[in-house]
Amino acid sequence: MDKPPIVTDTPTAAPALLEISGLRVEFGAPEAPTVAIDDLTLTIARGETLVLVGESGSGKSLTALAVTRLLPTAARITGGRVMLGGDDLFALPAAGMCAVRGRRIGFVFQEPQVALNPVMRIGDQIGEVLHQHLGLRGAERQERTVEALRAVGIPDPARRAREYPHQFSGGMKQRAMIAIALAGEPELLIADEPTTALDVTLQAQILALLKAEQRRRGMAMLFITHDFGVAWQVADRVAVLQAGRLVETAAREAFYRAPRHPYSRALFAALPKLERRVVSAPPAAAEPLLAVDNLRVEFPIRRGVLRRIVDSVRAVDGVSLRLDAGETLAVVGESGSGKTTMGRGILRLVPLAGGSVRFRGEDLAALSAAALRQRRRHLQVVFQDSYAAMNPRMLVGDIIQEGMLAQHLGASRAARETRVAELLAQVGLEAAHARRYPHEFSGGQRQRICIARALAVEPRLIVCDEPTSALDVSVQAQILDLLRDLQQRLGLAYLFITHNLGVVAQLAHRVAVMHQGVIVEEGPVEEVLFAPCHAYTQQLLAAVPKIGDGADA
């Protein structure tokens, strides 16, 4: 097979800090290895930010782990060299690597929740680095710890240093993580998707912080992301990885103006853009398919020996909305805004605290358990994590048949199997896939199976809970196309929960913005996204990283 040639720019004039040459990482048996990284050559100059972009599984994180020799047990480096400021990292003994990690290379991970030690005070975790690498103790260490926290913008750092990770919010944890990474005054900072787990507003703050600290310290940065918007915000140069191979490196402006490699161009083409509108107008309807009125969902807080309910968290606090047949209503909001809980509340998958959910005029909230089980065939759900959404112990065919069995659809096993084949064809898979297990499929294929399972009971409404957030941009575009196609053919209504405003613009007819359990603004997509009224909506839109704006300011 002919591969398009690798496109590289001329190396920058500045002296290289990190030089990766011919790196090769393999998995599996030595006789028949799976090559995860194939002949990767990269350089990062001092004070430069190189952004490594690529889809999941392209080897971005593995590259970072290989540089620090922290690969998972199953992977091994089988070739190449990594030079950091003239030292061969692969030639160092294990003890020598300890002096590199944390001191010369700082690390920021995607999940601060997992990367911070939950039983150590934040201050002690920073102090540990200061002691280990700079030999600081006592008052001096204390002073530097507080200073480090202040530098990453944590208010009241002296008091915060004595707190534990669980007392920090998500954004603060990531700031603390950055403080730890910077405490050893590294020459190179590796940031592995540091904002992926954060909301857009927090993401903007963290990106600004990283960029500012990098400038101030003259530090080099290897930044890993799958988001081209984020890449634009931080990059000096961009490197694109495809299936373990580097396909293009280029300076930021040149890359975004005209990506040269076909793969880079394909990725750009698949990006959902706010401006793109290809959604046809919804059919007019007299009676709404779904009418939610003043829906409330509360989680009780229990205290004391008798576990009495002392208070409750109002996750969904009086939401009203309507949805017509064949229409898509997008619900956007940051994590913790209650949008997922609202979706589950409408399906009565969580107990309701109040309000009504009228489906074709019938109040689901008032139905008995048995009656509700029958109505479930009209309302289905597709989840974000397609891996968790399917029982790993069941065959795909049985997974799709489950709903038919529960709803007594399909007269015989043969009839059900025919229907499974039909459904698989409908979502773009083959009939033979019914005899495989979920783990044998890629993320996009798994999401297609989940959609087929929902379709099996012939629903009128599907609650899509971030169905494309875990997918790569190119796959995301395919799934969105599939959903739109199904809507046109079957007249489905979607309640589409997402945090990605680009997806909203592509698929939805109307959009509702949710904030702290209530809907703050609702209306047609054009109005809400391009002429927002509510201050929160404006803030949310402003925080979305956009390509080509003045991030350097």
Binding residues for other proteins, rule: CB under 8 A, are 69-73, 75-81, 88, 90-91, 94, 97, 344, 347, 349, 372-374, 376-377, 379-381, 383, 385, 388-394, 402-403, 405-407, 437, 450, 453, 457
Please report where in the chains the tokens 């799976």 appear, as a residue: 34
Three-state DSSP state, 315: strand
Q: % helix / strand / coil in the chain, to the nearest 5? A: 40, 25, 35
CA–CA dist 53, 61 (Å, integer): 10
Report DSSP letters for 384-423, one per residue. S-TTTTS-TTS-HHHHHHHHHHHTT-SSSHHHHHHHHHHH
Minimum distance between the CB of residue 95 and other proteins, rounded to whole angstroms?
Answer: 10
CA–CA dist 201, 104 (Å, integer): 30
Minimum distance between the CB of residue 231 and other proteins, rounded to whole angstroms?
Answer: 27
Nearer to other proteins, 134 or 394 (CB): 394
Nearer to other proteins, 219 or 454 (CB): 454
Nearer to other proteins, 75 or 501 (CB): 75
Nearer to other proteins, 439 or 550 (CB): 439
Three-state DSSP state, 222: strand
List alpha helices for 261-395, DSSP H.
262-270, 339-346, 369-375
Minimum distance between the CB of residue 339 and other proteins, rounded to whole angstroms?
Answer: 16
Nearer to other proteins, 50 or 461 (CB): 461
Cβ atoms within 10 Å of 245's Cβ, excluding its own: 18
Minimum distance between the CB of residue 322 and other proteins, rounded to whole angstroms?
Answer: 21
List strands edge to edge, sheet with 188-192.
105-108, 188-192, 220-225, 49-53, 237-242, 245-251
Minimum distance between the CB of residue 505 and other proteins, rounded to whole angstroms?
Answer: 27
Minimum distance between the CB of residue 522 and other proteins, rounded to whole angstroms?
Answer: 25
Residues 6+ apart with CB under 8 A from 159: none
CA–CA dist 461, 490 (Å, integer): 10
Minimum distance between the CB of residue 135 and other proteins, rounded to whole angstroms?
Answer: 23
Nearer to other proteins, 271 or 372 (CB): 372
In one-letter notation, the amino acid at residue 390 is M
Per-residue buried b or exposed e for 93-121, using 16+ beta carbons within 10 Å of the residue's own CB = eeeeeeebbbbbbbbbbbbbbebbeeeeb
Nearer to other proteins, 14 or 74 (CB): 74
Minimum distance between the CB of residue 411 and other proteins, rounded to whole angstroms?
Answer: 18
Give CA separation, 261 vs 37, 78, 79, 236, in Å: 19, 27, 26, 18
CA–CA dist 55, 268 (Å, integer): 12
Nearer to other proteins, 406 or 518 (CB): 406
Nearer to other proteins, 233 or 445 (CB): 445
Per-residue buried b or exposed e for 135-166, using 16+ beta carbons within 10 Å of the residue's own CB = ebeeeebbebbbebbbbbbbeebeebbebebe
Minimum distance between the CB of residue 441 and other proteins, rounded to whole angstroms?
Answer: 14
Minimum distance between the CB of residue 463 and other proteins, rounded to whole angstroms?
Answer: 8
Helix, strand counts (H, E) of the chain: 20, 20
Nearer to other proteins, 349 or 425 (CB): 349
R_g of the chain computed on alpha carbons: 26
